[in-house]
Amino acid sequence: MYFDPVPITEALRQAAIRARTHGSRIPRAVPLSRRRRDPLHLHELTPARSARIIVTAFLMAVLTGTALLMLPPATTAPGGTDVLTAAFTATSALCVTGLVTVDTATYWTPFGQVVVICLIQVGGLGVMTFTTMLGILLARKFGLSSRLLANAETKSRGGARKVVARIVATTAVIESIAALILFLRFWGHYHYPPGTALAHAGFHAVSAFNNAGFALYTLNVMDFAGDAWILLTLAACVILGGLGFPVLYELRRHIRVPRRWSMNTRLVLLATPALLAGGTLFLLVLEWNNPGTLGGQPPAVKLLNAFFQSTISRTAGFNSIDIGHMHPVSWLGMDILMFIGGGPAGTAGGLKVTTFGVLFFVALTEIRGGAAVPVLGKQLSRSVQREAITVVVLATVAVIGGTMLIMLTDTGLGLDRVLFESVSAFATVGLSTGITPTLAPFAQWVLIALMFTGRLGPVTVAAAIAFGRRPPRYELPKERPLIG
């Protein structure tokens, strides 16, 4: 059902090694015996074809999930569900978004819920695996040690398999620990039957680590607004998944030696606490006396829920307070948090904290009148600056375009709510002001397109940019237009 990136990435890695070793372009000629073992024609792989393979693979996964959810046993609706509802749910699950048009707890049967959680695990783990492998193939310090890169270059496929195995193992360990904590809480405190407690614990642990935000409760996790065990466990999973596997791996190897951390790890570890603290304070100030959200809660519970929603705004769709009753300024602040997202090569969405970190240091250098861009003790590559600008521009166009299309369809909706839904869909967050189920079918298809584009767009664009560079044959005369 899901595209296995290892054969593709291994072929690209071997070609890149040969190019670096011999100082030549990647050879085109491939022995006939190898071609016979290469039914996908990987020796002819180009950036455009690679992107098409990834998009096609995700599209096939969405179609498969849609077909499974349309089966009568998957839903409580008589005769099965319609195509739009199944496609929306499958896309939201595979893109680890969390936006829904129906109640996950009551609309889908246990079989349908299993399909949803499987799509979440495939979507989160698959994208994380591919982006991490991409960093290895490009021989960039994507938070992985030089020893790992050396092993990848000296073994045919052992290095790639080792990295993927570590990703799967890390995912399994974190989800298992979270599920155990949730199980003990559901069973011991809320007195769920053991089977129900285990099912709910496993579902929410997977949903949280993959930054999906699907819940088996009609009010999401609002019933646990005062339960620190539940909320902090979910928040910890969201944060760990949002850091990205390269950061987790590098911390495990060099947690006591910060000087060995890569620029990627330093940016993620610098931006993540700042955004969490800033978002918590922002929501506390705006929602402190709001009777529809934090108003009326004890101060400790207010702090807990403000921190939880600040964490969740980084790309998971859980909510412990009613998002629809928040102040419009709070929505705008959460739009910014959702748009930024989490760390790269992880389960989080958004444009990634490293992208905005790069732009921040570029702007700071320009203000100071510098030439080269220093970032936390290292110099930033100019190509990375162009990549960051490209991703931000394309994402902005997608969000604005999606917002306009939805407002043209549903003219009675305000800009603040529609923009919130569009950013939430593109950044694969899943938070909603409550209007998603009421949108017209065309508007829901727009959200499906935003979710799909938001999950795959940055990855495929990064691959196309990284592998598609060609040395210029000539240079045009330079000129400076007026800026500002």
Task: Read off the pLDDT of each residue in 120-140 and give the average, rounded to a whole number.
Answer: 62
Highest mean pLDDT among 46-50, 128-132, 476-480: 476-480
Q: Which tokens belong to 383?
A: 């190509």
Chain centre distance of CA 267: 17
pLDDT confidence bin for 94, thresholds 50/70/90: very high
Helix, strand and coil in the chain, % to nearest 5: 65, 0, 30
Check residue 162 and give its pLDDT: 72
pLDDT of residue 154 exceeding 50, the answer is no
To which H or E segment does residue 374 belong? strand 374-375
pLDDT of residue 30 exceeding 50, the answer is no
pTM metric for this prediction: 0.82
Rounded-to-integer distance, Cα 391 and Cα 341, Å: 13
Rounded-to-integer distance, Cα 30 and Cα 330, Å: 57
Check residue 160 and give its pLDDT: 58
To which H or E segment does residue 378 belong? strand 378-379
Listed in sequence order, the residues at least 6 apart from 211 whose beta carbon sits closer than 8 Å to its beta carbon are 96, 124, 238, 241, 242, 314, 315, 316, 342, 346, 347, 348, 349, 428
Check residue 382 and give its pLDDT: 83
Check residue 51 and give its pLDDT: 67
pLDDT confidence bin for 29, thresholds 50/70/90: very low
How many residues are given for the chain?
484
Listed in sequence order, the residues at least 6 apart from 89 whose beta carbon sits closer than 8 Å to its beta carbon are 65, 69, 100, 101, 102, 104, 108, 116
322 residue type, one letter: D
- Kindly report which listed range (88-102, 213-227, 281-295, 374-388) carries the lowest average pLDDT score: 374-388
Check residue 144 and give its pLDDT: 39
- Kindly report which listed range (8-12, 114-118, 199-203, 359-363) carries the lowest average pLDDT score: 8-12
Check residue 295 and give its pLDDT: 92
Look over the chain and give the mean of its residue pLDDT values, rounded to a whole number: 82
Q: Which tokens belong to 465?
A: 């940019």
- Kindly report which listed range (373-377, 452-456, 463-467) carries the lowest average pLDDT score: 463-467
Highest mean pLDDT among 52-66, 69-83, 364-378: 69-83
Rounded-to-integer distance, Cα 458 and Cα 399, Å: 13
Closest CA to 26 of 35, 34, 36, 16: 16
Check residue 372 and give its pLDDT: 86
Question: Per-residue pLDDT tens for 196-222?
Answer: 999 999 999 999 999 999 999 999 999
Task: Read off the pLDDT of each residue in 4-28 and give the average, rounded to a whole number.
Answer: 46
pLDDT of residue 21 exceeding 90, the answer is no
pLDDT confidence bin for 141, thresholds 50/70/90: very low
Quote the percentage of the chain above a pLDDT of 90.
Answer: 54
Listed in sequence order, the residues at least 6 apart from 188 whose beta carbon sits closer than 8 Å to its beta carbon are none
pLDDT confidence bin for 468, thresholds 50/70/90: low
- Between 340 and 167, whose confidence is greater? 340
Task: Read off the pLDDT of each residue in 137-144 and give the average, rounded to a whole number.
Answer: 42
pLDDT confidence bin for 25, thresholds 50/70/90: very low
Check residue 469 and give its pLDDT: 56
pLDDT confidence bin for 463, thresholds 50/70/90: low
Question: Per-residue pLDDT tens for 391-438?
Answer: 898 899 999 999 999 999 887 888 999 999 999 999 999 999 999 999
Residue 108: strand pairing partners: 75
pLDDT of residue 109 exceeding 70, the answer is yes
pLDDT of residue 102 exceeding 80, the answer is yes
Contact 231, 308 (CB under 8 A): yes
Listed in sequence order, the residues at least 6 apart from 428 whose beta carbon sits closer than 8 Å to its beta carbon are 95, 96, 97, 98, 211, 315, 349, 350, 451, 454, 455
Rounded-to-integer distance, Cα 410 and Cα 389, Å: 32
Check residue 149 and give its pLDDT: 35
pLDDT of residue 146 exceeding 70, the answer is no
